[in-house]
Structure 1
Amino acid sequence: MDDATTTKRKRPVIRFNDLPTDILIGIISRLPIKEAARTSILSSHWKKIWCSHVNLEFSFYSMSPRLASTSHDARLRMKMFIERILISNCNALEFLGIVDCGKLTRLSTSHLWNQLKHLHVESCHLLKEIELNLGLTKLGYKGTLIPLSPPGPLLLTNVCMKLQHARSSLGYIFTNLPSTLLHLETLSLQCSELERAILPENHIKFMYLKHLRLQLRHPVTEKKIDLLDFACLLEAAPLLQKFELHMWMPLHHQRYREEAHGELRSLPPQPHAHLRLVHISGFIGMKDQLELSLHILRNSAMIRAMKVDPKPLFALPCISMLSPLEGFQYLDGYEVAIEYLCREDHNNVVDVSEIRREEVETLSVCELVYPDCVRLTRKANSSS
């Protein structure tokens, strides 16, 4: 044997610094945020690598030392927290969630190299404006009504807004929602209905909108809105496939009776060729609720299912605001839906959730609205 065959081959030495940057980023992204940050002291190259961590979570407890609970220490911790957070430099960040950030007044995600796709902002009470990134595709927001300032046409396809102090959902959709949302496919909006919206004559079109979910609360006893106004949404979203309308109305609103409320109104025909699924909850049989439901049923040529539930499923306030007599409203809604909607249902698509009088007379409102939760609570109490 020659020396070449007997000599033990040496394996090449692979160093972390020799790895491609995308592999280093993948390694860093699997480390906890504190450990990832510590790698920045290794070299000038590593100092920038950790900024590409794709999943960042910042809190006072992870990013600032534990101090006493005095007001001076709280201010010091706030100052250190602000100084230590690298977000404008986190170019690979795809999801950012900000919750209960009480000192935040303005948020800008429009950095030129930003890769942010999903932004969620909730309960930042001093926030006055959000400047959106052009590449953003999903936005979730809960808080007061503030302007959204996009620098140009957005790629947003999914928007979920839970607005406090807004006075009209239609007013927000056609006035406050940026007209640059050209690609919007899913819109979920929750707000109170405190006034009737004055709609522009030429309202904007949502040409790609496929799923619209509205959660409306009308917390005042005086009737100030007209739900038949919402028929304009069929025209504004010609490709809409699924429409959800979840409502809660106070006890004082009455079910429709022709002798008391006059004949039902009808709008000119407005055929819609794509709407297939409709879900309405909180249907208590008011005149404008019935008129809107009939308009949707008559004009949706491709509808496959219209589910109507008298109970308020998703737009509920706190349970303490529900009156013990609201169950009778649900019974009114069921009877009106059976009498008018089912009579108009020529394609057998209407499905009305049944409310029986004996249930209303024997069960609490909580048991009617949250039967599963009540059963679980009783089971837990009995086992304990």
Structure 2
Amino acid sequence: MSSSNIRDKDEALKDWVSRLPDDILVNIISRLTLKEAARTSVLSSRWKYLWTYASNLNFDASKLLVNVYEETIEEERLRYMCWVNKVLESHKSLSVNEFIIVFDLDDSHESNISHWVYTAISKRAQKFELNLFPALCWPPASGIYEFSQGCYDYLKSPCGLSRVKSLKFLYFDTVNVTEEILEFFINNCPNLDDLRVGRSDKLLRLKVVGSSLQLKCLHIDHCNNLEELEISCPSLLSFKYFGPEIKLHVKNVPQLVDVLIGGGHGIGKGKVIGPIVNYFPQLKTLELHVELNEEILQFPECDLPELRHLMFIVSALDCSSLLGLTCMMKSCPLLQKLTFKLEIFHYSAEIIMRHQIPKHSHQCLKVLEFVGFSGDPVELELAYYMFQNATILEEMIVEPSEYEPEAQAARKSAKKLEKMLPPGVKLVFH
């Protein structure tokens, strides 16, 4: 072998990655999972401590809960808490991009959870997620973790106030937070643009009000004791609410383009959706949760001239027709995608049309999507109606039900769909 070939081989075998500056290596490590990042410590002495400066502390271990049982849950919780605490003891960076906790924990683990809240804020986390949703039962046996007064006092201190300003994304799920605590974050985090709260029993009222707020996304989900919500936020782009009937006050949201409304109230009653209707003309996407428990669906009189994507999430104990959902589409002249997500317990043996549904040409609709498709004649009837009225339809997407018997029936019905499809329409079956 020539000397030049030997040099080339030696060059190829050199560890060029390890020669990169520390900040670039830490950036690379931060893109790995925490367990993968920790494994890099064995590569060489150069790598031994680099992972302890990782900027992303993502402790999402929810996948481990899929096969957890009551007799093993406490052991899994202890293992999870030990893992988080061990990583935090080793971690040396003074700031992080994200700090994410996702696992089944409750109020009996208050000391550990509160310590993690302190740590996330002290490390100036830009994204903080605390998701303690239980894997086995609701509500948690030992009660929902409550955001402690000690944590709140720390946030209000000069040290806490200086560090909380880094927050851009804040998500609490199955964490009891009050109006006072949430409004503290809203009013003291100038960079906060995404706030999400789920399953907080202590949240009774909330004001998201301020001309200087930078908040772009506000999502409130299953806060079942919420009574009143006031929104006045010129930067808001996305508002999603799922829950009980509430007093909703909405004004000064000129950029709002994405809305989800759903919950036990039902779409026909209009008590939650009413104040939002004034902003329907500017929406680009709208998701409505519909309970088919009335003979006639009462959709609000509205115009949706800018709407591009309309999604219906439909729940029903019994269903004889889905065609009533199409009545709202005549208000959406530029609609390009229509999604039906079906959560129906039982379809009637016979398709019963109580009211004639008039035909209405949809000249911009390109994509029709069924999620939770089981292949029932009621679903095929709706699909056929859309085929007749969507003049430039390009694609139909079908995602079968999660339940295997229904999924098998859906696969068989896919052949019927193919025969019904207009020329040029592509069927995508997941």
- 1:114-129 to 2 correspondences below 5 Å: 114-129=213-228
Instruction: Give TM-score, length-normalised by structure 1.
Output: 0.59
Cα displacement (A) at 1:312: 2.5
Equivalent residue number for residue 165 of structure 1: 264
Equivalent residue number for residue 103 of structure 2: none
Cα displacement (A) at 1:122: 2.6
Cα displacement (A) at 1:305: 0.8
- 1:199-210 to 2 correspondences below 5 Å: 199=298, 203-210=301-308
For residue 278 of structure 2, give the secondary structure of its aligned residue in structure 1: coil
Q: Cα 1:289–1:86, aligned 2, differ >3 Å: closer, same or farther?
A: closer
8 A contact 2:155–2:161 mirrored in 1: no
Choose the corresponding residue for 2:168, options 55, 66, 80.
Answer: 55
Residue 349 (structure 1) aligned with residue 425 (structure 2):
yes
Q: Cα 1:53–1:346, aligned 2, differ >3 Å: closer, same or farther?
A: closer
Residue 33 (structure 1) aligned with residue 126 (structure 2):
no
- 1:331-370 to 2 correspondences below 5 Å: 331=409, 338-339=415-416, 341-349=417-425, 351=427, 353=429
Equivalent residue number for residue 150 of structure 1: 250
Render the CA deviation track for 1:47-93: whole Å, top value 9, x for unaligned: 9755633337598xxxxxxxxxxxxxxxxx999x8599454243332
Cα displacement (A) at 1:352: 7.4
Render the CA deviation track for 1:212-242: whole Å, top value 9, x for unaligned: 22221212x4x4x641111223212111111
Q: Cα 1:346–1:172, aligned 2, differ >3 Å: closer, same or farther?
A: farther
8 A contact 1:157–1:186 mirrored in 2: yes
Hey, what's the Cα distance between the residues in 1 that align with 2:428 and 2:170? 45
- 1:171-182 to 2 correspondences below 5 Å: 175=274, 177-182=276-281
Residue 102 (structure 1) aligned with residue 201 (structure 2):
yes
8 A contact 1:29–1:53 mirrored in 2: no
Equivalent residue number for residue 136 of structure 1: 236
- 1:192-203 to 2 correspondences below 5 Å: 192-199=291-298, 203=301
Greater relative contact order, per chain length (Cα 8 Å cut-off, separation 6+): 1
8 A contact 1:215–1:247 mirrored in 2: yes
Cα displacement (A) at 1:125: 2.1
Hey, what's the Cα distance between the residues in 1 that align with 2:274 and 2:247? 11
Q: How many residues align?
A: 283
Cα displacement (A) at 1:174: 7.0
- 1:1-384 to 2 correspondences below 5 Å: 32-34=120-122, 41=158, 50=163, 52-55=165-168, 82=181, 85=184, 87-132=186-231, 133-161=233-261, 163-168=262-267, 175=274, 177-199=276-298, 203-219=301-317, 221=318, 223=319, 226-251=321-346, 253-254=348-349, 267-284=357-374, 288-308=378-398, 311-313=400-402, 327=405, 331=409, 338-339=415-416, 341-349=417-425, 351=427, 353=429
Calculate percent identity across the aligned residue pairs: 22
Instruction: Give TM-score, length-normalised by structure 2.
Output: 0.53
Identify unmatched segments of 5+ residues in structure 1.
1-26, 60-76, 314-321, 355-384
Hey, what's the Cα distance between the residues in 1 that align with 2:171 and 2:418? 54
Equivalent residue number for residue 106 of structure 2: none
Structure 1 or 2, whichever has the larger Rg, is: 1
For residue 187 of structure 2, give the secondary structure of its aligned residue in structure 1: coil
Q: Cα 1:41–1:151, aligned 2, differ >3 Å: closer, same or farther?
A: closer
Identify unmatched segments of 5+ residues in structure 2.
1-93, 98-118, 125-153
Render the CA deviation track for 1:350-372: whole Å, top value 9, x for unaligned: 53759xxxxxxxxxxxxxxxxxx
